[in-house]
Amino acid sequence: MKKTWLLGFGFFSISITWALYNAFVPFFLDKFLTSTALIGFMMTIDNYFALFLQPWIGSRSDRTNTRFGKRMPYLLIGMPLAAVFGALIPWHTSLITLVLFMVLMNLSMSLYRSPTVALMPDTTPESRRTKANGIINFMGGIGSILAFGAGSVLYEAHSALPFAAASVLTLICLLILIRSVREKRDALVYAPAEKAAFSFSGEWTRPTVFLLCAVFFWFLSYQGVEALFTLYGKHHLGLKEGDASLSLAFFSLMFVLAAIPAGWLGNRYGKKKVIMAGVIGLIATFAAITFVDSLLPLRLLLFAGGIFWALININSYPFVIGLGKEQSIGTRTGMYYLFSSLAAIVSPPLMGLLVDLFNYSVLFYTASAGMVVALLFLLGVKDKGLSVGSGGNPSAVSDERKHSTMAR
């Protein structure tokens, strides 16, 4: 448990950086661009790098073997670079320098995101991964709350302050990980994969394909809302920029509070059932927001949305990992981020175009429709014969017993 909480600092740094990026970078772009669709497209430039780099680096980290371990070398390079370029974003002098700093920061983050996330299943038995993912996402949610809450206060004082604070926190988190994580000591089985070529062959089973398609569509909905929500609040509801970004903190707050219970529920009742409940809940929540025109009911619905998103997000990554082999954790982590990155590329410009053609109310109608499609794909993931308590992997019980014996 202690090791899991310490690993959470890696996800904490990722979450706080992404939350600030999605909340405030659209305001910087809004000064240069008049088209919402174009702003949405600019917000996805980083994901083109993530689309190719994260799957490749995730698979490569499976085969890496250094004195620092398999995953840590990527953190040691990527996190300092991301801290530097993230701090430079608000100091842009033109659209060209703004885009340059955006690309360099997100290119740096692509170097370490998949290896950071893969550290959790490396050190956690299958039967405990939903709980561990709940703890890690709890830490990530705290990062988002700080970004939307304290970040809003800092932004009002000076636009550079929240980015500088996030960069400092990223470096502190790296130091914590360096001191607390020893992969060759902490990994359940430290065995770099022998396969030399980068390939997903053998991983594309029918349940995996259906589940990854569901991942794509629920991230299509979520990423579009996250990228354009502050502009939605400003232009559609007439909120101040600070109030719009602060409202997202209500979503993140409930995500944090629900993260650990969501992991427990997934372990107790099965990942698929819990994810399905979350998808259905977000369909209703996004549809209801379209009828809201004031701050209080909006924030109440965002509270509920945070709970439902926790049910989905906490259980989806362990579900993807649980459908494969232990030797392919990094590769499947890359596959997971491949589909979520595809959604992040498609969603903001698509939703921005719809906003340009109609109005901002279409944002949440589209988000709700994306969740409906995700639900249909999730229904196609067959999990008959899998142990509920083990989270969908019949070998988890034996893995748990083996781990306990080794610990004794």
Exposure on the CB side of residue 278, measured as CA atoms within 13 A = 33
Assigned CATH for 2-187+201-407: 1.20.1250.20
- Domain residues of the chain, as ranges? 2-187+201-407
pLDDT of residue 70: 82
Tens digits of residue pLDDT in 134-175: 888 788 878 877 887 788 889 888 989 999 999 999 999 999
Give the residue carrying structure tokens 């490396």: 122
pLDDT of residue 400: 35
The reported pTM is 0.71
pLDDT of residue 238: 76
User: How distant is the alpha carbon of residue 294 from its chain centre?
Assistant: 28
Buried b vs exposed e over 382-391: b needs ≥16 C-beta within 10 Å? ebeebbeebb
Tens digits of residue pLDDT in 185-226: 766 555 555 554 445 556 678 888 999 999 999 999 998 888
- Helix (H), strand (E), coil (C) string for the chain: CHHHHHHHHHHHHHHHHHHHHHHHHHHHHHCCCCCHHHHHHHCCHHHHHHHHHHHHHHHHHHHCCECCECCHHHHHHHHHHHHHHHHHHHHCCCHHHHHHHHHHHHHHHHHHHHHHHHHHHHHCCHHHHHHHHHHHHHHHHHHHHHHHCHHHHHHHHCCCHHHHHHHHHHHHHHHHHHHHCCHHHHCCCCCCCCCCCCCCCCCCCHHHHHHHHHHHHHHHHHHHHHHHHHHHHHHCCCCCHHHHHHHHHHHHHHHHHHHHHHHHHHHHHCHHHHHHHHHHHHHHHHHHHCCCCCHHHHHHHHHHHHHHHHHHHHHHHHHHHHCCCHHHHHHHHHHHHHHHHHHHHHHHHHHHHHHHHCCCCHHHHHHHHHHHHHHHHHHCCCCCCCCCCCCCCCCHHHHHHHHHHHHC
Query: Which residues of the chain are under the pLDDT cut of 50?
Result: 196-198, 384-408
